[in-house]
Amino acid sequence: MVTNLLTDYWPILVLLLVSLGFAGIAMGGGLLLGPRRSSARKQEAYESGMRAIGPGTRQMPVRFYLVAVLFILFDIEVIFFLPWAVVFRQYYENGLGAFILLEMLVFIVILLVGYAYAWKKGALEWE
Amino acid sequence: MQPELIVFFVLGTVAVGSAIGMLLSRNAVYSALFLILNFATVAVFYLVLGAPFIAMVQVTVYAGAIMVLFLFVIMLLGAEHLERRTGADWQKPIAALLGVVLLVEAGYVLLSESVSLPGINVPAADYGAPVAIGELLFSEYLLPFEVTSVLLLAAMVGAIVITRRDAPRRKKR
Amino acid sequence: MPIISSTDLLAILPTAFVVVWACTLLLVDVFAGAGGKRLTPWLAALGLLAALVLSVRGGGLEQTAFNGMLEVDGFSHAINALVLGSGLLAVLLSVDYLRQHGIAKGEYYVMLLFSISGVMLMGAAADLIVVFLSIELLSIPLYILAAFAQPDPKSEEAGLKYFLLGAFAGAFLLYGVALVYGATASTRLSEITAAVAAGLENPIFLLLGAALILIGFGFKVAAAPFHMWTPDVYEGAPTPVTAFMAVGAKVGGFAALLRVFIVAFPSLGADLAPVLIGVVAATLIIGNVAAIAQNNIKRLLAYSSISHAGFILMAFVPYADDAVYRDTLAAALFYLLAFAVTSFGSWAVVMALEKAEGKGLELQDYAGLFRRHPGLAVAMFVFMLSFIGVPPTLGFAGKFYLFRAVLEGGYVGLAVLGVLTSLVSAYYYLRVVVVMFMQDGKPQAQASPLLNLATAVTAVGTVALFFFSQPLLDWAAGAFLRLF
């Protein structure tokens, strides 16, 4: 399997190598060529050039968490679309187009209920 | 040595190493990063086993979404740095001892019974492809598929109920 | 390519109805005004009643549906009736309690309905994947409900504990399913049996898988040594949630346990028997002995519920015996019914005496109950008798049938242990009675008509149904699994 793994997924491998190489060149280049003059200001946490306000490890409000959970749930939902999309034509040609469409509709409608609820409840708002 | 074997041992070393690193690092953010490495390695395992769809899910859901959630929780609790003493130190040697006992027992049973796993039929090359999964998921496994959406709905409503306080909203001035 | 037919839809109709009703309820509740929201509990009750009618009307249906994912038979109908009835009682208990404690949100009933649909799915699940999904569908809403009184820290603790340990148990179950699949190349219960019969399975991995699945179910039914969560969660969760959890999760867990093991793993009976005996002994002893030390009524009932799981598991030990398993099944279903009625009744009394911020839950708060509220005290007396297993109560008949199944299986030692621990249990149940009838105190009960109705119905049911034990047992016995 490994051999066809290499042929099938070589773009990903190339991407991996390029990104690793880029990061290595950038960091290594800076390390080799750049001057090193440390000062107290430079030791602060990097905040896009602004002066840092407080430590970088403040607690975050629970709203982030809610958004992240909703993101995961819809993420999982979307995952199911992929195998559906790639077999849709096959089902359609077998005369089962309505069947598979209905199947996905039921799935989406159930989750749409959740979406409508989240929306109405204001879970998507950032008060 | 066969290429499969080499890949397996390299990946296995990385997977076990990153798992140990996750457990041992005192900084919870480092643990999370180790976990991402571990998830990525497992994804490659799935690829080697001929399950590209699962590999993709592993990367998008686990290494992507779930790890974001983990990092949020770490930030949320402000628990980046663990206390060295947790108050449950006496449990550690006992746990290690029991773990070793279990390992020895399992090894003994497996070796003494001389398990001969029947050689599995090598599945077709596209066995784990999205198309193959789609064919099964939307016909034979239709019911589990729909139940999953109900499960997601219940989780979604639950997450909102638990995190949102229905306090009277403050009016914007 | 298999495609579903209308009979498949008919088979899942009651369950699908509950799910659709829950979705509708969710939308109605969130879009309705304050006046409409008051209707939510009654709509939930209406939906459960309609599902019960649907389920009973389709009671004769026996078929395999969704390509073998579901097995609709007498057993699944019995589980449906049990859990829908429990759901109705739970709604009855919840309405006033939620209002008094300021947690009256419509989502409560939606979560309840989702959990119920999970149990219904579990009753018919004939594939380990469906078993796993339905156990999650049953549990996730319960985690939420346990934490429903947030920001009350006890309720939050209950929800978090239940969730973490439940997820852990779910992992055991899933790993067991994976190993069974590895050993037999199928997750379909019937195909697992077929693979075993054809000698295609790998015995070690099958046994390992079955053992891990047993751990997963053991957690759900709160059997020792997987019971640690029970007292804390039962104590911290809002009381009507606890009442439903005690019955709903047990019905679901035992439904899965009975069907999966009787259908798929009869070949492992001899191997698992020592493990099961150990679990039963531990559950009976820990449940009954630890209950003695409890002064909080919720914790006392939690340990009591652990011990009742032990009694049902006792009849489960000879599950692989062809001559006994029908009796096991009937006795277990009957006992679940007896436990459901008695348990809901006792929780209703607890709720009548409970006051805000967890006050009124100590045993001492029951002192003098007979003087002040003779009705409640007498009802509690009936429930305690039923828990001990004294005639004329349902509990007696239930224990009688359980012991009969155990003796038929030839496990005399277990039966003796069961009787001994029943005697121990009499001590702590009667302590409640003694406090209620013989000590002086000024207990204050809230007179809520719904609660009184639930208490009265269950108390009368506990006694009256005793006289119909035989027909009920026949009903339970009629609910045998379709064999393959």
pLDDT digits (tens, 9 = 90+) for A16-67: 899 999 999 999 998 898 888 888 777 777 777 777 776 666 666 777 788 8
Question: Do B72 and B133 belong to one domain?
Answer: no
The count of domains in chain A is 2
Domain of C460 in residue numbering reads as 265-484
Gap between the Cα atoms of C39 and B75, Å rounded = 41
User: Which of B101-115, C3-17, C23-37, C326-340 is predicted with the least confidence, judged by mean pLDDT?
Assistant: B101-115
pLDDT of residue C399: 94
Question: Do B75 and B2 belong to one domain?
Answer: yes
> Where does a domain end: B48, B82, B116?
B82
> Which residues, other chains included, contact C283 with Cβ-Cβ below 8 Å and sequence gap of 6+?
C223, C224, C227, C306, C307, C309, C310, C313
Do the Cβ atoms of A106 and B146 come within 8 Å? Answer: yes
Selecting from A76, A86, A121 the residue whose C-beta is nearest the C-beta of B152 gives A76
pLDDT of residue C360: 81
Q: Is residue B52 included in any domain, yes or no?
A: yes
Question: Do B135 and B62 belong to one domain?
Answer: no
Do the Cβ atoms of A113 and C23 come within 8 Å? Answer: yes
Do the Cβ atoms of B138 and A91 come within 8 Å? Answer: yes
Q: Is residue B169 included in any domain, yes or no?
A: no
What number is the ipTM of this complex? 0.92
pLDDT at C1 over 60: no
Do the Cβ atoms of A117 and C27 come within 8 Å? Answer: yes
Q: Residue C364 — φ and ψ, nearest 5°?
A: -65, -25
> Where does a domain end: B82, B105, B139?
B82
DSSP states along C365-400:
GGTTHHHH-HHHHHHHHHHHHHHHT-SSSHHHHHHH
> Where does a domain end: B82, B116, B150?
B82
Do the Cβ atoms of C3 and A99 come within 8 Å? Answer: yes
* Interface contact B158, partner C, CB < 8 A: yes
Contacts of C3 in chain A (CB under 8 A): 96, 99
Closest CA in chain A for residue C20:
A110
pLDDT at C303 over 60: yes
Name the residue type at position A76: I
Entry field: residues in chain A: 127
Do the Cβ atoms of B156 and A117 come within 8 Å? Answer: yes
Question: Do C241 and C390 belong to one domain?
Answer: no
Question: Do C236 and C307 belong to one domain?
Answer: no
Helix C153-184 × helix C189-197 angle, to 10°: 40
Partners of C359 in the β-ladder: C355
Task: Work out the angle at residue C121's Cα, subtended by the Cα atoms of residues C118 and C122, and round it to the nearest 5 degrees.
Answer: 85
Question: Do A73 and A103 belong to one domain?
Answer: yes
Contacts of A113 in chain C (CB under 8 A): 23, 26-27
Q: Is residue C188 included in any domain, yes or no?
A: no
Name the residue type at position C187: T
Distance from A99 to chain C by nearest Cα, in Å?
8
Contacts of B153 in chain C (CB under 8 A): 23, 114
Q: pTM here? A: 0.92
Q: Is residue B149 included in any domain, yes or no?
A: yes
pLDDT at C183 over 90: no
The count of domains in chain B is 2
Q: Is residue A126 included in any domain, yes or no?
A: no
Do the Cβ atoms of B131 and A90 come within 8 Å? Answer: yes
Question: Do C248 and C292 belong to one domain?
Answer: no
Distance from C367 to chain B by nearest Cα, in Å?
37
Domain of B69 in residue numbering reads as 1-82
Q: Is residue C210 included in any domain, yes or no?
A: no
Work out the number of other CB atoms within 10 angstroms of the CB of residue A14. 10
pLDDT at C481 over 70: no
Express each pLDDT in C391-444 by its tens digit: 889 999 999 999 999 999 999 999 999 999 999 999 999 999 999 999 888 888
Distance from C477 to chain A by nearest Cα, in Å?
37
Q: What SS3 string covers C165-204? A: HHHHHHHHHHHHHHHHHHHHCCCEHHHHHHHHHCCCCCHH
Q: For chain B, list residues with pLDDT below 50.
A: 167-173
Q: Is residue C189 included in any domain, yes or no?
A: no
Question: Do C325 and C351 belong to one domain?
Answer: yes
Sign of CA dihedral C152, C156, C159, C162: negative
> Which residues, other chains included, contact C269 with Cβ-Cβ below 8 Å and sequence gap of 6+?
C318, C319, C320, C321
Instruction: Let me know: does C262 contact C299? Beta carbons within 8 Å.
Output: no
* Interface contact B119, partner A, CB < 8 A: no
Question: Do C106 and C247 belong to one domain?
Answer: yes
> Where does a domain end: C204, C238, C264?
C264
Do the Cβ atoms of A2 and B169 come within 8 Å? Answer: no
From chain B residues 113-142, the ones with a CB under 8 A of any chain C CB are 113, 115, 117-118, 135, 139-142
Average pLDDT over residues C360-367: 87
Structure tokens at B21: 């690193």
Q: What is the DSSP letter of C71?
A: E
Q: Is residue A8 included in any domain, yes or no?
A: yes
CA distances from B125 to A5, A8, B131, B136, C475 (A): 11, 12, 12, 16, 52
Structure tokens at C433: 């009675």
Q: Is residue A53 included in any domain, yes or no?
A: no
* Interface contact C26, partner A, CB < 8 A: yes
Do the Cβ atoms of B137 and A58 come within 8 Å? Answer: no
Q: Is residue B135 included in any domain, yes or no?
A: yes
Instruction: Let me know: does C165 contact C215? Beta carbons within 8 Å.
Output: no
Gap between the Cα atoms of C340 and B149, Å rounded = 30
Mutate to test the interface with A, among B146, B149, B150, B172 (most CBs of A within 10 A): B149
Gap between the Cα atoms of C418 and C301, Å rounded = 18
> Which residues, other chains included, contact B98 with Cβ-Cβ below 8 Å and sequence gap of 6+?
none
Question: Do C327 and C433 belong to one domain?
Answer: yes
Question: Do C361 and C437 belong to one domain?
Answer: yes
Gap between the Cα atoms of C67 and C63, Å rounded = 11
Contacts of B64 in chain A (CB under 8 A): 75
pLDDT of residue A40: 77
Structure tokens at A86: 């790639």
Question: Do A38 and A10 belong to one domain?
Answer: yes
Do the Cβ atoms of A110 and C23 come within 8 Å? Answer: yes
The count of domains in chain C is 2
Contacts of B117 in chain C (CB under 8 A): 202
Selecting from B60, B73, B134 the residue whose C-beta is nearest the C-beta of A83 gives B134
Question: Do A35 and A72 belong to one domain?
Answer: no
Average pLDDT over residues C305-316: 94
Work out the number of other CB atoms within 10 angstroms of the CB of residue B87. 7
Instruction: Let me know: does C78 contact C476? Beta carbons within 8 Å.
Output: yes
Q: Domain holding B10: CATH number?
A: 1.20.120.1200
Average pLDDT over residues C251-280: 93
Chains that touch C (3 or more CB pairs under 8 A): A, B
Q: Is residue A127 included in any domain, yes or no?
A: no
Selecting from A94, A99, A121 the residue whose C-beta is nearest the C-beta of C30 gives A121
* Interface contact B157, partner C, CB < 8 A: yes
pLDDT of residue B68: 84
Instruction: Let me know: does C278 contact C255? Beta carbons within 8 Å.
Output: no
Of C120, C149, C335, C131, nearest to C241 by C-alpha is: C149
Contacts of B113 in chain C (CB under 8 A): 204
pLDDT of residue B127: 76
Average pLDDT over residues C136-164: 93
Domain of A11 in residue numbering reads as 2-43
Gap between the Cα atoms of C196 and C180, Å rounded = 11
Up-side HSE of residue C169: CA atoms within 13 Å toward CB?
Answer: 26
> Where does a domain end: C205, C239, C264?
C264
Selecting from C1, C27, C31 the residue whose C-beta is nearest the C-beta of A94 gives C1
Q: Is residue C201 included in any domain, yes or no?
A: no
Q: For residue C59, give the 3-state DSSP assignment.
A: coil
Using the structure block, give the residue that is written with the tokens 């047993």.
Answer: C214
> Where does a domain end: C199, C233, C264?
C264
Q: Is residue C213 included in any domain, yes or no?
A: no
Contacts of C27 in chain A (CB under 8 A): 113, 116-117
Question: Do C358 and C228 belong to one domain?
Answer: no
Q: Is residue C48 included in any domain, yes or no?
A: yes
Chains that touch A (3 or more CB pairs under 8 A): B, C
From chain C residues 141-180, the ones with a CB under 8 A of any chain B CB are 141, 143-144, 147-148, 150-151, 159
* Interface contact B162, partner C, CB < 8 A: yes
